[in-house]
């Protein structure tokens, strides 16, 4: 079934006007067996919803698996149908391009020397995704991590596809991130921080983990200044999908454990001059939209 963007209700996308109106149709997924369309049919730049590919359907493990393997992800708010996106360009962090500021390098060094400070993986996934959903964001009135999304990704975590990287201090979860992994690819979703630099520590730990397991690319979905300041850059959709196909063909990571020895992967990292976007007081943004 095909849905015209202008048919959304007032909770969702506005109708398209002007030159972009020629691309006002997207697929509506009515049955679990309906495949996601070719990503080249996503709404283009200049439209009211660039990157929107399809609407409808449910967040089942089968649908999520199909989506991520095509480079598609869900993103919508309460009261909307599931909306499926394939943005062009795509923000990606190549792990060998991660920018480690001097201040963050010092923060991580202090963190590793302090008793009670540690990074864990997959010990509190529901708490991480719930914290991401509940943390206020600048310029946002609500959250795109709606309850059904929390439940869907927690179910996916139980199946071994979704993972959390967590920053702990004295037995308390103070920051972290979560995402999805297939093959040698990590798709970042969101992160949160309840202490200075806690989410940055988790991201740096993820970079180390990915380097250790030869996962060269972390999908960040759409541009944010925060992630760009840490080395993420945009790729054309076609280039991203070509790289994704190669990473999906490799064997998946089995051992999702974080060891202190993994921090050695930052030892040779460059320490660029600190920019305003890299100050410790900055509130981290979502990895994705």
The model's pLDDT over 125-181, given as tens digits with 9 standing for 90+, comes to 999 999 999 987 665 555 789 999 999 999 999 999 999 999 999 999 999 999 999
Using pLDDT thresholds of 50, 70 and 90, give the confidence band for residue 272: very low
- CATH 3.30.70.3550 residue spans of the chain: 2-88
Confidence of residue 277 (pLDDT cuts 50, 70, 90): very low
pLDDT over 90 (residue 116): yes
CB 128 within 8 A of CB 176: yes
Backbone phi, psi, residue 173, to 5°: -80, 115
Give dist(CA 285, CA 190) in Å, integer.
8
pLDDT for the residue 143? 72
Q: What is the pLDDT of residues 3-51, one digit of tens each?
A: 444 333 223 333 434 333 344 589 999 999 999 999 999 999 999 999 9
What topology is assigned to 2-88 in CATH? Alpha-Beta Plaits (3.30.70)
Residue 20 CA: distances (Å) to CA of 5, 10, 38, 174: 11, 20, 19, 44
CATH architecture of 91-278: 3-Layer(aba) Sandwich (3.40)
* Dihedral of alpha carbons 32, 34, 39, 41, sign: negative
Contact 214, 220 (CB under 8 A): no
Mean pLDDT is lowest, of 112-126, 128-142, 221-235, 261-275, for: 261-275
pLDDT recorded at residue 9: 29
Q: Tens of pLDDT along 181-230?
A: 999 999 999 999 999 999 999 999 999 999 999 999 999 999 999 999 99
Beta strands 2-4 and 25-29, pairing class: antiparallel
CB 44, CB 87: distance < 8 Å:
no
What is the pLDDT, as a whole number, of residue 50? 96
Model confidence pLDDT, tens digit, residues 67-81: 999 999 999 999 999
Given a contact cutoff of 8 angstroms between Cβ atoms, the answer to whether 203 and 230 are in contact is yes
Q: What is the DSSP letter of 7?
A: G
Q: What tokens does 52 get?
A: 């929107």
Could you tell me the two tokens for 2?
A: 């095909």
Question: What residue spans in the chain does CATH classification 3.40.630.70 cover?
Answer: 91-278
Query: Does the pLDDT value for residue 289 go beyond 60?
Result: no
What is the model's pLDDT at position 141?
52
Q: What is the pLDDT of residue 137?
A: 64
Answer whether 148's CB lies under 8 Å from 64's CB.
no
Q: Which two tokens stand for residue 81?
A: 């149908």
Question: Shortest CA distance to 126 belongs to which of 163, 154, 165?
Answer: 154
Position 117 scores a pLDDT of 98
């Amino acid at each position: 079934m095909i849905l015209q963007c202008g048919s959304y209700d007032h909770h969702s996308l506005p109708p398209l006007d002007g030159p972009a109106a020629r691309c006002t149709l997207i697929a509506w997924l009515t049955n679990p067996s309906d495949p996601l369309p070719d990503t080249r049919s996503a709404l283009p730049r200049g439209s009211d919803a660039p990157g929107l590919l399809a609407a409808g359907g449910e967040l089942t493990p089968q649908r999520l698996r199909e989506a991520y393997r095509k480079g598609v992800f869900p993103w919508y708010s309460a009261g909307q149908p599931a909306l499926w996106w394939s943005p062009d360009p795509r923000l990606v962090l190549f792990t060998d391009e991660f920018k480690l500021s001097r201040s963050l390098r010092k923060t991580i060094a202090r963190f590793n020397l302090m008793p009670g400070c540690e990074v864990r993986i997959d010990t509190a996934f529901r708490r991480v995704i719930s914290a991401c959903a509940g943390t206020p964001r600048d310029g946002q009135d609500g959250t795109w991590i709606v309850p059904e999304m929390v439940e869907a990704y927690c179910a996916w975590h139980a199946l071994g596809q979704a993972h959390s990287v967590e920053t702990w201090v004295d037995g308390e979860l103070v920051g972290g991130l979560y995402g999805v992994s297939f093959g040698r690819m990590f798709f970042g979703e969101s992160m949160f921080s309840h202490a200075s630099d806690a989410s940055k520590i988790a991201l740096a730990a993820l970079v180390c983990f990915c380097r250790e397991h030869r996962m060269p690319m972390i999908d960040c979905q759409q541009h944010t200044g925060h992630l760009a300041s840490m080395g993420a850059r945009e790729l054309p959709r076609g280039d991203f999908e070509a790289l994704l196909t190669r990473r999906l063909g490799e064997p998946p990571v089995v051992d999702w454990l974080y060891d202190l020895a993994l921090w050695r992967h930052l030892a040779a990292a460059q320490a660029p001059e600190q920019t305003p976007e890299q100050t410790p007081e900055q509130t981290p943004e979502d990895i994705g939209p």
